[in-house]
Structure 1
Amino acid sequence: MKKTSVLFVCMGNICRSPTADGIFRDRIERAGLRGIVEIDSAGTHSYHIGHAPDARTQAAAQRRGYDLSALRARRVQASDFERFEWIVAMDNANVAELMLRCPPEFRHKIVRLMDFAARHDATEVPDPYYGGAQGFETVLDYIEDGLDGFLAHLGAAD
């Protein structure tokens, strides 16, 4: 795999995108690719800047062996569009927001995570923030699936 950089994006950067960030870090580490892939996450909105991931998100991730505690929310910056090779959004609303803010020459970098999924036919990772505990499990299932496909795509893109 060639060196690359990935930014995961959701709305507030406290549920879905930090989950993707943490799981992908784990996948990259297990694959022996640390230092080859730069990973970060951000939100399209500034509701939670500086906050750790939602406690329910962290608890669900921890039950599957993922530690998200060191991550802190930030907002997508204009420089991110040039800096990252991949900007991976969790849903259509965030794709639309990113497209509005992204200079035309970088729009090709914006993709949906679920476009890489093989085990689920959903097109979006649903926001679990206002729902119950099962929503966080669904997010984990979808993100693990999407990231497995994304990692395979990155390997095939060499």
Structure 2
Amino acid sequence: MTRLLLVCAANLCRSPMAEAVLRSRAASLGLSEVASAGVFAASKRQEADRRAVQALAQRGYSLDRRWRSRRVRPDDFDQHDLILAMDREVLRGLLAQRPARSLARVGLFLHGMTGLGRDEVPDPYFGTTEGFERVMDLIEARVLAWPRPADLDRHFLDV
């Protein structure tokens, strides 16, 4: 079973949305733990963006009421087997923080997806509600194409 950390910039939209969706299917996807964080998250923990919560609810998902954002910590690289970034800027931030001794695999959330027209999940924070719907589309597409547990190590490139 794989311990997964999903990472976006501030941990207010994309990564908590992906966390909620993947948690709902964790057992069938071979995931023992699903968490999220932000490489640039504020030190003060915040609730998820209301538009993200609304987009999740419209598709039958939810976050725990106690959920709060958090920043990526050095121990995340020890506590998680797979750390997936929502975009390349976030990936660069992760790689800059990654301890040299870390065994965690680090890559892009949409790596290997075809037919989407993109390999990054765009940040909807400064956009409209439609941006959150598009993020949900991408997250659900990724979940539908999630590799079998035995193939996780081969599927997500370690950078």
TM-score interval, smaller chain:
0.7 to 0.9
Structure 1 residue 153: Cα displacement: 4.1
Give, in whole Å, the separation in 2 of the partners of 1:45 and 1:86.
Answer: 19
> CA-atom RMSD, angstroms?
2.1
Partner in structure 2 of residue 102 of structure 1: 98
Give, in whole Å, the separation in 2 of the partners of 1:48 and 1:140.
Answer: 26
Whether the 8 Å contact between 2:29 and 2:148 is mirrored in structure 1 is no
| Deviation string, structure 1 residues 100-151 (Cα, Å, up to 9, x no partner) | 11023437611101114344131100000000111001100111112333x3
> CA 1:99–1:109 in structure 2 vs 1: closer, same or farther (change >3 Å)?
same
Give, in whole Å, the separation in 2 of the partners of 1:48 and 1:128.
Answer: 21
> CA 1:27–1:119 in structure 2 vs 1: closer, same or farther (change >3 Å)?
farther
TM-score between both structures, scaled by the size of structure 1: 0.86
Partner in structure 1 of residue 110 of structure 2: 114
**Structure 2 segments unaligned to the other structure (5+ residues):** 154-159
More helix by share: 1
1:20 aligns with 2:30: no
Partner in structure 1 of residue 82 of structure 2: 86
> CA 1:152–1:51 in structure 2 vs 1: closer, same or farther (change >3 Å)?
same
Pairing partner for 1:43 from 21, 35, 38: 38
Give, in whole Å, the separation in 2 of the partners of 1:48 and 1:148.
Answer: 34
Pairing partner for 2:60 from 65, 80, 104: 65
Name the count of aligned residue pairs. Answer: 152
> CA 1:136–1:57 in structure 2 vs 1: closer, same or farther (change >3 Å)?
same
**Structure 1 segments unaligned to the other structure (5+ residues):** none
Whether the 8 Å contact between 1:58 and 1:69 is mirrored in structure 2 is no
Give, in whole Å, the separation in 2 of the partners of 1:98 and 1:45.
Answer: 10
